[in-house]
Amino acid sequence: MTFDRRDFLKASAGAAALGTLSACASNGGMAKSARPKVVIVGAGFGGSTCARYLKLWDPNIEVTVIEPNDVFTSCPFSNTVLAGINQMADITMPYDYVKKAVDQWVPDKVTAIDTGKRTVTTKGGKTFAYDRLVLAGGIELMYDKVQGYDEEARKTIKHAWKASPDQTGVLRQQLEAMPDGGVFVMSVPMSPYRCPPGPYERACMVASYFKKAKPKSKIIILDGNPDIASKKGLFVAAWTKHFGYGTDKSMIEFRPNNMPRAVDPKKMMVGTEFDDVKGDVINVVPPMRAAAICGMAGVRDGNNGTWCTIDYRSFESKVVPNVHVLGDSALTNFPKSGSVANNTGKMCAAALVEMLNGRQPDQAPVVTNTCYSGTGQGTGFHVATVFRYDPAGDKMVAQKGGGVSKEESELEMAYMESWATNVWADTLGLPESYKFTAKG
């Protein structure tokens, strides 16, 4: 970015112009001196970061955040809860500092979006007008793509792909209750999906728990993809080193091209195209798409209507003006990770500040991503990538550098813990005095 924040703060105070926005259209006939309104739906890594930096970089912008959850629960690091390394409390943090930063915090769920009138309506019956709308709702799980995965089945079979006590916490309890010698059946959805290395990290974390507490137990991975979708060499090396992968005593059995087609919670069975697999604990992650709020706004236009195409320079939808899409919901070539959501939350905030002050956003944006994965009780590795926008091809291009770890190590797990506490603090505005309890 090349803007001087002091200059645009002065410009925003006068609010002489709102770029291409019409003050009458977006503010219900208010004078052009009215403060521009940004409504952010979702307060995860992308939404909270965007909200905080918007207010930091231009206090004149009126920021409203709509979020139904009382607390922030981190999906990154949640697999360590399944390993018994951490508890739910260790990955759960308050929204207090985001609430203090923004103009309005609305603890409610969005039920309707009118992109023509530029309004958002909540379950509680409140309606909020916007000049710019930011959708940061993450993913929606498509249970209907797996036969039998109805509301009743979901009481027993957990996905734990949205971390919460009812998901991650219950799955941990199921693993603890499983007898030694039992079978844990888990699935990997077909790409693209949230957190490419996440399922394979989960296998590592659960296997590390089994090795310590239930050494006769086994993990069966039903992967819808033709091969391990992320960090293959590193995961195979970790499985081989710690869990006997590739031998007849392997704790992990990997089955590619085995997407779950059906579940039976009574028989504790997962059906694939090839056979039925029985387990003592079943963890099926169904296919996913952009969050339901993206469907309400009509911005799910990519990949057969499952994800949202965006302008990389502003994160604005390519099909609905004045609507911006962050994080997992966007159709991009970078991973659907917490790191990307946090990074792009700042980039979107910067673009909005420019656009709402009559200027162009950065025309050559850079996105960074770092994904850490735990591999055992105290070891891990990472992958890091930098993407730069190519205007000629209208795409983000991975740059030289970055790369992946050569091997797992305890030092990498220490880095993973540091990364987590830093990104949580940056996302939520947590002070230096905040006491993190999560450990690697």
| Whether residue 270 is found in the same domain as residue 293 | no
Geometric angle at alpha carbon 297, from 65 and 114, rounded to 5°: 80
Residues 39 and 121 in one domain: yes
Predicted local confidence at residue 228, as pLDDT:
97
Residue pair 92/50 in contact (Cβ under 8 Å)? The answer is: no
Task: Please name the residue that has the structure tokens 């006590």.
Answer: 165
- Amino acid symbol at 429: G
Backbone angles phi, psi at 339, to 5 degrees: -60, -45
Tokens 């220490």 belong to residue = 414
CB proximity list for 325: less than 8 A, separation 6 or greater: 134, 135, 136, 290, 294, 299, 308, 310, 315, 317
Q: Is the pLDDT of residue 138 over 70?
A: yes
- pLDDT of 363 higher than 90: yes
Which of the residue ranges 210-224, 254-268, 387-401 would you say has the lowest mean pLDDT?
A: 387-401
CA–centroid distance for 61 within its chain: 26
- Mean confidence (pLDDT) of the chain: 92
Structure tokens at 3: 């803007």
Contact criterion met (CB below 8 Å) for 365 and 347: yes
Pairing type for strands 252-255 and 262-264 reads unpaired
User: Same structural domain for residues 21 and 135?
Assistant: yes
Domain end marker among 362, 396, 413: 362
For residues 231 and 321, membership in a common domain is answered with: no
pLDDT at 388 over 80: yes
Q: What are phi and psi of 98, to 5 degrees?
A: -70, -40
Residue 166 lies in a domain: yes
Q: Do the beta carbons of residue 13 and residue 395 sit within 8 Å?
A: no
Same domain, 182 and 273: yes
Q: Is residue 389 part of a domain?
A: no
How many whole angstroms from its chain centre is CA 358? 31
Strands 127-129 and 262-264, bridge-based pairing: unpaired
pLDDT in tens, 398-432: 998 888 999 999 999 999 999 999 999 999 999 99
Query: What is the C-alpha separation between 192 and 332, in angstroms, rounded?
Result: 10
Residue 23 has pLDDT above 70, yes or no: no
∠ CA 328-332-338, nearest 5°, is 35
Residue 244 clears pLDDT 90, i.e. is over it: yes
- Does one domain contain both 168 and 156? yes
pLDDT-based confidence at residue 395 (cuts at 50, 70, 90):
very high
Q: What is the mean pLDDT of residues 17-32?
A: 35
Query: 59, 13 in Cβ contact below 8 A?
Result: no
> Is residue 170 classed as helix, strand or coil in its secondary structure?
helix
Number of domains in the chain: 2
- Could you read off the pLDDT of 142-163 as tens digits, one per residue? 999 999 999 999 999 999 999 9
What pLDDT band is residue 2 in, cutting at 50, 70 and 90?
Answer: very low
Q: Are residues 133 and 32 in the same domain?
A: yes
Is the pLDDT at 21 greater than 70? The verdict is: no
Q: Is residue 427 part of a domain?
A: no
| Distance set, CA 148 to CA 145, 168, 260, 334, 382 (Å) | 9, 21, 11, 32, 36
Instruction: Give the Cα separation of 289 and 292 in Å (integer).
Output: 8
Please give the Cα distance from 373 to 383 (Å, whole number).
Answer: 9
**Is residue 56 in a domain?**
yes
Question: Considering the domain boundaries, does residue 89 fall inside one?
Answer: no
d(CA 130, CA 293): 15
Residues 175 and 56 in one domain: no
In CATH, what number is assigned to the domain containing residue 311?
Answer: 3.50.50.60
Q: Which residues pair with 431 in a beta bridge?
A: none
Name the residue range of residue 162's domain: 147-287
Final residue of a domain: which of 330, 362, 394? 362
pLDDT over threshold 80, residue 11: no
Q: In this structure, are strands 119-122 and 127-129 parallel, antiparallel, or unpaired? A: antiparallel
For position 85, what pLDDT does the model report?
96
Answer yes or no: do 182 and 238 share one domain: yes
For 329-348, what is each residue's pLDDT tens digit? 999 999 999 999 999 999 99
Nearest partner of 167 among 148, 178, 185, 154, judged by Cα: 154
pLDDT grade, residue 33 (50/70/90)? Answer: low
**Strand ranges inside 262-340, DSSP E:** 262-264, 269-271, 276-278, 281-283, 288-290, 310-311, 316-317, 323-325
Regarding whether 206 and 166 lie in a shared domain, the answer is yes
pLDDT exceeds 60 at position 69: yes
Q: Which residues contact 293 (CB under 8 A, 6 or more apart)?
A: 41, 42, 110, 113, 135, 137
Of 136, 106, 132, 135, residue with least CA distance to 46: 136
280/338 same-domain check: no
Residues 15-40 have a mean pLDDT of 52
What pLDDT shows up at residue 376?
A: 87
Is 18's pLDDT higher than 50? no
- pLDDT tens for residues 270-313? 999 999 999 999 999 999 999 999 999 999 999 999 999 999 99
Answer yes or no: are the C-beta atoms of 28 and 129 closer than 8 Å.
Answer: yes
Task: Clarify whether residues 202 and 244 are in a common domain.
Answer: yes
- Which pLDDT does position 8 carry in this prediction? 35
> 257, 287, 317: which is the final residue of a domain?
287
pLDDT at 113: 98
Does 241 reside within a domain?
A: yes
Query: Is 240 a domain residue?
Result: yes
Q: Please enumerate in sequence order all residues whose Cβ is within 8 A of that of 28, keeping only pairs 6 or more positions apart, or say none.
A: 129
Q: In the prediction, which pLDDT does 19 show? A: 35
The answer, yes or no, to whether residue 212 has pLDDT greater than 60, is: yes
Residue 47 falls inside a structural domain: yes
Percent of the chain whose pLDDT exceeds 90: 91
Indicate the pLDDT class of residue 22, thresholds 50, 70 and 90.
very low
Residue 20 has pLDDT above 80, yes or no: no
